Chain A
Amino acid sequence: MEISGARVLLECLIKEGVDVVFGFPGGAVIDIYDALPDYPIKHILVRHEQAAAHAADGYARASGRVGVCLVTSGPGATNTVTGIATAYCDSIPMVVFTGQVPSPLIGNDAFQEVDIVGITRPCTKHNYLVKDIKDLPRIIKEAFYLARTGRPGPVLVDVPKDVLQQKMRLKYPEGEPQMRSYNPNYKPNLNQLRKAMTLLAKAKRPLMYIGGGVIMADAHEQVMRLARACRVPVTATLMGLGAMPGDDPLFLGMLGMHGTYAANMAVYNCDLLLAVGARFDDRVTGKPGTFAAKAKIVHVDIDPTSIRKNVQVHVPVVSDCRLALEGMLGILADWDGQTDWEAKHAEWLAQTSEWAASHPLSYDRAASGPVKPQYVVETIYELTRGDAIITTEVGQNQMWAAQFYKFQRPRTLLTSGGLGTMGYGFPAAIGAQMAFPDRLVVDIAGDGSIQMNIQELVTVVWNRLPVKIVILNNGCLGMVRQWQELFYKGNYSSTCFEAQPDFVKLAASYGAKGFLVETTEQVAPVLREAFALDGPVVVDVRVTPGENVYPMVPSGASLSEMLLV
């Protein structure tokens, strides 16, 4: 039987196992929306297409599956660009379907026409314009395959309206797509792994530096096994948090610009850095020339372009992180207990413990007056026992969440690491809640960034998604304000808000529950009540204005040059 392109698209989604789509209708995709009610696919209607992209991204990060987003042509498509770039920077598997004006009108500056394939070329892993309905099933198959394999990433499929209306007999391609130009390499080179393990055996002060690739490859267990077997301390990037339990004795916390003293000192002093699924981002390395300058560097990454892009490495391993670590554990097993790792690294571990003990993450707990934002995050951690899915916005709220929530499991921190997208956290929480309806999902937000996608309150209310938003409300764009205080002589240009909405009333007007917290004593009871409620909640916590995130490595400085509290 011949069916329309719109139905072909939906049938293909079913074949790919898609059960939820985040989207917003419009003229170019009205045929898809017309057929959508006939399919067992839940559609979450957002109120801005950027949120659809972030929600698909959040769904993917939380579940490990490919997130799907559906929008119309022109402004619908351009509104997803920030979301696509966010997913691209953090290697998140996502497929974005955009409607396009009918093929004969393409290039004519038609109503709601935009060259979205051209616009998103640099921020997608790959993208397609479907010119013929006959190509549609193959392209959708390839799109999902590209999104989830190799180094994952967003793929955009642009479908003109006439293609959605043409008819064909659907035959969905079976098996893995065959693409002569795309063959991701997963298997590590055993010789490189041997070199890496030989370096580890020789090292006196080894350190593992893990990133989002570990979570992406489900390699967290292998990380822990190797770290525990060889008694190697571990530090993680923002994207790697959760791969190692936040309170594990071998875990030094996050490294980099707002990393812990112990992690940054360990990087500065280590003699072997084993980088796994991390990409030596400038927020991590500080001044690249001084980053782990005393160390031999082993770099495991599935993407060859990540290797030797920012930092010279001694042993590159292009491979899936899990397979590489399993290979290393295999070599270790062959050595069969020849090394007393405990004794070998005792001195080094004593040193890292001493750094951790002498300069723990801290803030003025005894201060009277407004609530300390760090205390709010700590309380969220205690109330949820580290078991919630935390999303964050971007800025101080993000860094405090990273520092003071001791993530226990992978895929429990969803945050825009690479692009640093304000307005990410709330829609991402919607996606995470769709993936895990029964888990507690908390967006740790700032009063600045929450306003970038606050319109989605109606989405969570309508879809009964019990997302909790905790706003660390300091009345300013805190991170920029912090830079202005420290590096721009306190010239607080455009960072301190003169007008603010009443977030409690705002929540109420959308039909959500709102709470105001003004004192430290209120924090725990209100959060406890909020988390117990079966519905979306906004908690507006008035926190100390002018509180800064420490430690801080000034941009471009060496990791050893931390500003402490």
Chain B
Amino acid sequence: MRHVLSVLMENEPGVLSRISGLFSGRGFNIESINAAPTLEKGVTSMTITTIGDELILEQIVKQLRKLVSVIKVVDLTDIPAVEREMVLIKVAASDSRRAEIMRIVDIFRCKVVDVSIDEMVIEAIGDYGKIQAIFNLLQRYGIKEVARTGTVAMKRSMQTMEE
């Protein structure tokens, strides 16, 4: 099962390799990894998407917490959270196809950020499911290149509806 982990850690040199080394050394999967500084000085936030069964996820979370540089680990899979990824998709767009592609861009509220005679670069933002859907739809026109940020995620604030 796919899990999204949010990890806070000390922003020290080599901290990313501590995380990636842990995953490769113990044979855990990384689907995507995203790291950037937070507003708090010296703290980096990382979102890791990984795949594994319950026992493996338990080990991943525990092993991450064991790293001396890691401050906090939250598995966002089982709690209300927002998740987003941005992708740039270069898609083949001949004159005859362009209108159709534009319609998909509209439906998914994407943006065209670059265009040439026979290609378009589309910027899409969404959760895992939406991005997969866009890929599926654009596949038939010919996707030339993809650049992805990897997932970033955040726990939702208070859940008024459930209370």
Contacts and interface: CB of A to CB of B under 8 A. Distances in A.
Contacts of B70: 181
B158 interface: no
Nearest to B24: A122
A439 interface: no
Interface string A96-139: 00000000000000000000011001100110010100000000
Interface residues of A, number: 18
Contact of A181 (B10, B21, B25, B55): B10
B41 interface: no
Contact of B68 (A117, A129, A179, A309): A179
B59 interface: yes
A305 B68 contact: no
Contacts of B62: 304-305
B129 interface: no
Contact of B21 (A122, A125, A146, A305): A122
Interface in A177-193: 179-182
A478 to B, nearest CB: 31
B14 interface: yes
Contact of A304 (B14, B55, B66, B71): B66
Nearest to A303: B66
Interface string B22-48: 100100000000000000000000000
Contact of B14 (A117, A179, A303): A117
A309 B57 CA distance: 11
A308 interface: yes
Contacts of B25: 122
Nearest to A125: B68
A181 B7 CA distance: 12
Contacts of B17: 118, 121
Contacts of A126: 68-69
Nearest to B10: A181
A12 to B, nearest CB: 19
Interface residues of B, number: 20
A305 B9 contact: no
A181 B13 contact: no
B18 interface: yes
B118 interface: no
B71 A121 contact: no
B58 interface: yes
Contact of A121 (B14, B58, B59): B14
A304 B65 CA distance: 9
A180 B59 contact: no
B139 interface: no
B77 interface: no
Given A122-B25, A181-B9, A181-B71, A305 B66 contact: yes
B63 interface: yes
B21 A121 contact: yes
B14 A305 contact: no
A180 B22 CA distance: 21
> Which of A126, A305, A308 is packed against the most chain B CB atoms within 10 Å?
A305
Contacts of B21: 121-122
Contacts of A125: 68
A309 B55 CA distance: 8
Nearest to A124: B68
Given A180-B71, A181-B69, A303-B66, A309 B59 contact: yes
A70 B25 CA distance: 27
Interface in A11-40: none
A308 B58 contact: yes
Given A118-B14, A182-B68, 14 more contacts: A122-B21, A122-B25, A129-B13, A146-B68, A181-B68, A181-B69, A181-B70, A181-B71, A304-B62, A304-B65, A304-B66, A305-B66, A308-B58, A308-B59
- State the 4 A-B residue pairs at the shortest beta-carbon distance, nearest first: A126-B68, A181-B71, A305-B62, A304-B62
24 contacts: A117-B14, A118-B14, A118-B17, A121-B17, A121-B21, A122-B21, A122-B25, A126-B68, A129-B14, A179-B68, A180-B71, A181-B9, A181-B10, A181-B69, A181-B71, A182-B68, A303-B66, A305-B59, A305-B62, A305-B66, A308-B55, A308-B58, A308-B59, A309-B59
